[in-house]
Chains A and B, each alone.
Chain A
Amino acid sequence: MAQAGEDIKKYPGFMGITIFCLLILYAPLIVVMVYSFNESKSITEWQGLSLKWYVDVFVGPESAKFKEAALNSFSIAITAAIAATIIATSAATGMLRGGAFKGRGLSFALINLPLIVPEIVTAVATLIFFSAIGFERGYLTILVAHIAFCIPFAYMPIAARMQGIEDTYEQAALDLYATKAQAFKRVLLPLLMPGVISGFILAFIISLDDFIITNFVKGAGIETLPTAIFGAVKQGIKPNIMAISTMLLGVSIVMVTVSYFVGKSDQKK
């Protein structure tokens, strides 16, 4: 029976497609990695192995800027993703477990608004708005703008997940004299987790990669990784950007490996 149980999940070709998908995603990264070791300044003509770009990234004259940009990007991305995920979870609960109410359609539209509006429009309008209310441009303006546009990306997976969860569990908990907060925290939330995590990841990568809006609302002296990279590209693409990207890749792989082992030990518990 266990055999049949596992078999029922298998579809021929799905594994192949997954591998293919991963291949497409990772192939350009291999190019990035390879050319980060290029001797010359080219990203297309290979001229020998060299670590000089990594050295440049760590101690070169522009290294401080890139380091700071990376730090900014990550701190903003994590903060914005956390905030957006919390707000989105809360909103999803309200939308899907709050019964029917008049403003429901409008709420849905509002939540998805950042998705629909072209980034350049949001960028220019937000800058004008911030200037008008005297919100001085800097780290905070970027953070706030990011939280706002990350919300729909976090909301979608969470809502989709929640729609697949029957409310019987929460009702049962309430019947057993749990408070609403307890019902949420101990019943709904754990069931929601894969959706919440998915939402967090989406918000994180959207924030990490944002260029247009960040470019317009950032203040003097603040760079994020995308603005630094885009700017550097205008002066001619060099392998130092490839080196930075490869290192980022390394960091993320380390984090994944760590989380895998943590997850495994968790399971054993």
Chain B
Amino acid sequence: MKKTLTASAVALTLSMFAQAASAEGKLSLYHWFEYIPQEMLDRFAEENGIEVTMDTYDSNEAMLATLKAGSLGTYDLSFPGDYMVKILGDEGMLDTINDGELKNKANIDPQWIDVPYDLGRNSSIPYQWGTTSFSVNRDLFKGDISSTAILFDPPAELSGKINMLDSQGEVLTLAALHMGIPQCSTDRDQLKALNALLQSAKEHWVSFNSDTAKEVLVTGDAAAGMIYNGFSAKGRLEGGNIEYAFPKEGLIAWMDNAVLLKDAPNRENALKFMDFLLEPKNIAELTNWAQYSAGVLGADEFLTDELRSTPENNKPDSAGPSVFVEACSEEVQAVYDNIWTNLKK
């Protein structure tokens, strides 16, 4: 009896040491490539004794496709954009964070708590956010850029020199803002008008390109083009004379979020990582690296002065509202798909 007890005690102690020596657990992230500095991941891994692995996708839709095709259950956290959080939620792919499970939930900037795609933040936390509108190359165009008419009803000198992002959601949302109609409208006349607007605007567009949106503006191949604020800032810092626009009709706000996936294999570690991302210092480090904006209280004071004052992150009061791209219902989405196909056929 005594021998067995000692043996089990030894075994237990040994196993405890073994566990402490090896990783206390794992964490599996599904993320964009180069969207988080490796040092942060390494620091988190060391501080918590957790082994972090990361798989990458190159678009929200690709992520959804792989999750649907069978990879759900192999990742703990993913980093979808705003409308994709709603879609994942509707698909039942998100896990709920119960009250109290997230220690740092109070750090979330109040304006980002009740976001339309996750009211009350039951499954997600802010990661980085920014805006999407358009920029112009000031060497080529000196006119007023405070309206989305630059893209949809351009002055003659810009015709044939406009690049659009190759993204259905963003193009259609900006068009809806331009027309002043609601997103996901079910009104037939409005939808027909939307279709007509895009058809007529297309003649002035030279290309649909997301990957080289920054390069075409910097080189002047495009005099005007849709672009994310972060990319525009990068282009400006590379020497391009480009100015980001804050149209009076409004512009698109986007936010990437960390979400807890359903059937997460390491749920507890996932929550730890979310808490990690909600520490002002950590998220500021990420923001200084990625050069967008954080959604966490207190992060601002740790940002570099340059980033805080960059014009692309500071919307003037004269600008219109920043709206998220909405995920529409099935019927409206079908019409949107038809409109997009009409545009690209």
A→B interface (CB under 8 Å) = 40-45, 47, 61-62, 64-65, 124, 127-128, 130-132, 137, 215-216, 218-223, 227-228, 230-237
Q: Which residues of A contact B70 (CB under 8 A)?
A: 127-128, 130-132
State how many angstroms separate the Cβ of B286 from the closest Cβ of chain A.
13
Known: A45-B218, A231-B34, A231-B56. Is A40-B238 also a contact (CB below 8 A)?
A: yes
Known: A234-B33, A236-B231. Is A131-B56 also a contact (CB below 8 A)?
A: no
Give 5 nearest A-B pairs by CB, closest first: A231-B33, A131-B70, A42-B238, A220-B55, A221-B53
Cα distance, A42 to B38, chains bound together (Å): 23
Contact with A along B138-161 (1 / 0, CB 8 A): 000000000000000000000000
State how many angstroms separate the Cβ of B215 from the closest Cβ of chain A.
5
Cα distance, A132 to B219, chains bound together (Å): 48
User: Is B32's CB under 8 angstroms from A235's CB?
Assistant: yes
Interface residues of B in 9-68 (CB under 8 A from A): 28, 30, 32-35, 37-39, 53-59, 62, 65-66
User: Is B211's CB under 8 angstroms from A61's CB?
Assistant: no
* Cβ-neighbour of B69 out of A61, A127, A227 (below 8 A): A127
User: Is A61's CB under 8 angstroms from B38's CB?
Assistant: yes
Interface residues of B in 52-105 (CB under 8 A from A): 53-59, 62, 65-66, 69-71, 74-75
Known: A62-B34, A219-B55. Is A127-B215 also a contact (CB below 8 A)?
A: no
User: Is B56's CB under 8 angstroms from A227's CB?
Assistant: yes
Q: Which residues of B contact A218 (CB under 8 A)?
A: 55
Count of CB-CB pairs between chains A and B under 8 Å: 100
Q: Across the two chains, which residue of chain B brings its CB closest to A61?
A: B38
Known: A124-B65, A231-B32. Is A42-B56 also a contact (CB below 8 A)?
A: no
Q: Across the two chains, which residue of chain A brings its CB closest to B70?
A: A131
Cα distance, A132 to B71, chains bound together (Å): 11
Interface residues of B in 108-161 (CB under 8 A from A): none
User: Is A230's CB under 8 angstroms from B58's CB?
Assistant: yes
Cα distance, A233 to B75, chains bound together (Å): 23
State how many angstroms separate the Cβ of B312 from the closest Cβ of chain A.
13
> B234 at the A/B interface (Cβ < 8 Å)?
yes
A47-B238, A62-B38, A231-B57 known; 18 new pairs, CB 8 Å cut-off, are A40-B238, A42-B218, A42-B239, A44-B218, A45-B240, A61-B38, A62-B34, A131-B69, A132-B70, A215-B57, A215-B58, A216-B65, A223-B33, A231-B33, A235-B33, A235-B35, A236-B214, A237-B214
Known: A40-B238, A62-B38, A232-B33. Is A237-B55 also a contact (CB below 8 A)?
A: no
* Cβ-neighbour of A232 out of B34, B55, B57, B212 (below 8 A): B34
Known: A124-B69, A127-B71, A227-B33. Is A43-B215 also a contact (CB below 8 A)?
A: yes
User: Is A220's CB under 8 angstroms from B240's CB?
Assistant: no
Q: Which residues of A contact B230 (CB under 8 A)?
A: 236
State how many angstroms separate the Cβ of B76 from the closest Cβ of chain A.
10
Cα distance, A113 to B211, chains bound together (Å): 31
Q: Which of A40, A41, A44, A127 has the largest number of chain B CB atoms within 10 A?
A: A44
Q: Which residues of A contact B53 (CB under 8 A)?
A: 220-221
User: Is A236's CB under 8 angstroms from B38's CB?
Assistant: no
Cα distance, A221 to B70, chains bound together (Å): 17
Q: Which residues of B contact A234 (CB under 8 A)?
A: 32-33, 58-59, 211
State how many angstroms separate the Cβ of B324 from the closest Cβ of chain A.
20
Known: A137-B71, A235-B32. Is A44-B55 also a contact (CB below 8 A)?
A: no
User: Is B32's CB under 8 angstroms from A61's CB?
Assistant: no
Q: Which residues of A contact B71 (CB under 8 A)?
A: 127, 131, 137
State how many angstroms separate the Cβ of B251 from the closest Cβ of chain A.
20
Cα distance, A43 to B240, chains bound together (Å): 12
Q: Which residues of B contact A65 (CB under 8 A)?
A: 38
> B5 at the A/B interface (Cβ < 8 Å)?
no
User: Is B58's CB under 8 angstroms from A47's CB?
Assistant: no
Cα distance, A32 to B239, chains bound together (Å): 19
Known: A44-B218, A218-B55, A220-B75. Is A236-B33 also a contact (CB below 8 A)?
A: no
User: Is B30's CB under 8 angstroms from A220's CB?
Assistant: yes
Q: Which of B33, B74, B212 has the largest number of chain A CB atoms within 10 A?
A: B33
Q: Which residues of B contact A62 (CB under 8 A)?
A: 34, 38
Cα distance, A234 to B39, chains bound together (Å): 20
> B237 at the A/B interface (Cβ < 8 Å)?
yes
Q: Across the two chains, which residue of chain A brings its CB closest to B228?
A: A236
Q: Which residues of B contact A216 (CB under 8 A)?
A: 62, 65-66, 69
